[in-house]
Amino acid sequence: MNSNHREVLGAGRPLRLIVTGGGTGGHTYPALTAVRTLQSRLTAQGTGLEVLWVGKADSLESRVAAAEGIAFTSVATGKIRRSKNPVKLVSPSNVADMSRVPLGVLQARKAISGFRPDVVLATGGYVAVPVGVAATRLCRVPLVVHEQTVRLGLANRTLAGTAARVAVSSESTLPLLPPSARAAAVVTGNPVRPELFTGQGAKAIEELGLDGFNRRLPTVYVTGGAQGSQQINHLVRNVLPWLVEHANVIHQCGPDNVTELRQATSHLPEAGARRYHLTGYMGAELPDVLALVDMVLSRSGAGTIAELTALGKPAVFVPLASAAGNEQAHNARHLAEHGAALALADDVSPARLREVMAPLLTDPMLRSEMAERARSLGRPDAAERLVDVVLDAAGA
């Protein structure tokens, strides 16, 4: 199918791309950034782009595609629940889910045959498996697999062996690839939203009304993601009187946690209270906040890692213990081993948090050194690199 398309790519016909992946923001937003970057690249070259997003119905990726005006179609998918116990692998829920995968493959074949893409980009998540299988085994369309994490996700591990190209975010992922996939592998990094590089710290002070901040103290951004993290919220709550003596704090706690935290922190002395800004959600002002802050306390998902290293921000990570394949712990450990961050893994207590944060808060040189190491691991041009790979696989 694909050879006929390649013949006319240079004749002004729009490039046709199927993108698949989702379930979480870690799979969805890198795909969206890649699509936007590819659109800009082709527009500048006088060529168009036609995109079809294949994902799960009523999902994050379906909502993102709708908001972006990207055509969307859904396929059946099944989540394989991991377990070291082989008996649990054949549990009724696993068997039921896995039985949906062949249906998803047939639905994906229909979508691919109808759309006739030049290339398929898969960014992980269970929905990527039926689409990737249909592309490579049934429709003979080049597949580009992108892995965001240091470890190799289960979906991408399944697809890597038949992909035309495998794009990974870290050199340390390469040895984890199946031997047959290593020759097709390239390190691109994990695409980061370009607007993150446009932040202005002074705008954050104005937008958020941070007049009570002491500019002689470092500023810490605390976040547990869009919904917040109870674990991180409770850690910060328990060290907050000490923390605001040594730092200004912007705490994004999740919309459902604001009332509880506001009550729990109402006892702060006036000066400390003026140095503590609590918010449920961080939206368009996030680039300005990241430009302002001196260090970050957060989870260690792949998207967070990509953003903080691209910006060169020192960080203390509290990995999500329930993350698939323990990937957040691997991500945090990878940066900690390079001196680019600190990680709380085994002892996640208020006392340990104070012990870890104190040197960074009091030593600007230590923060600067960690920032440089983080920046050395960052790939701010990851989206452009991934677009290069996609275009190469498409023969464009």
Q: How far apart are CA 297 and CA 249, in angstroms?
A: 10
Domains defined for the chain, CATH in brackets: 2-192+381-394 (3.40.50.2000), 194-377 (3.40.50.2000)
Percent of the chain past pLDDT 90, that is, above it, reads 78
Q: At residue 297, does pLDDT exceed 70?
A: yes
In tens, the pLDDT along 129-183 reads 999 999 999 999 999 999 998 888 888 989 999 999 999 998 889 998 988 899 9
pLDDT the model gives residue 227: 84
Percent of the chain past pLDDT 70, that is, above it, reads 91
Regarding predicted confidence, which is higher, 379 or 4?
Answer: 379
For the entire predicted model, the pTM comes to 0.85
Q: How far apart are CA 300 and CA 317, in angstroms?
A: 6
pLDDT band (50, 70, 90) for residue 225: confident
pLDDT the model gives residue 91: 60
Paired with 223 in beta bridges are 252
Q: Are 379 and 173 in contact (CB under 8 A)?
A: no
pLDDT the model gives residue 365: 97
pLDDT the model gives residue 4: 41
Regarding predicted confidence, which is higher, 232 or 85?
Answer: 232
Q: At residue 97, does pLDDT exceed 70?
A: no
Strands 165-168 and 248-252: unpaired
From 301, 307, 289, 297, select the one nearest 341 (Cα to Cα).
297
Q: How many residues does the chain have?
A: 396
- Residue listed under structure tokens 């691997």: 330
pLDDT band (50, 70, 90) for residue 101: confident
Q: At residue 216, does pLDDT exceed 50?
A: yes
Q: At residue 1, does pLDDT exceed 80?
A: no
The region, left, alpha or beta by phi > 0 then psi within -120 to 50, assigned to residue 297 is: beta
Regarding predicted confidence, which is higher, 154 or 216?
Answer: 216
pLDDT the model gives residue 270: 92
In tens, the pLDDT along 6-61 reads 444 555 789 999 999 998 888 999 999 999 999 999 999 999 999 999 999 999 99
Q: How far apart are CA 167 and CA 384, in angstroms?
A: 12
Q: At residue 333, does pLDDT exceed 80?
A: yes
pLDDT the model gives residue 257: 94
pLDDT band (50, 70, 90) for residue 93: low
Query: Mean pLDDT across the chain, nearest whole number?
Result: 91
All residues at 6 or more sequence positions from 213 whose CB lies less than 8 Å from its CB, including other chains: 205, 219, 248, 274, 275, 277
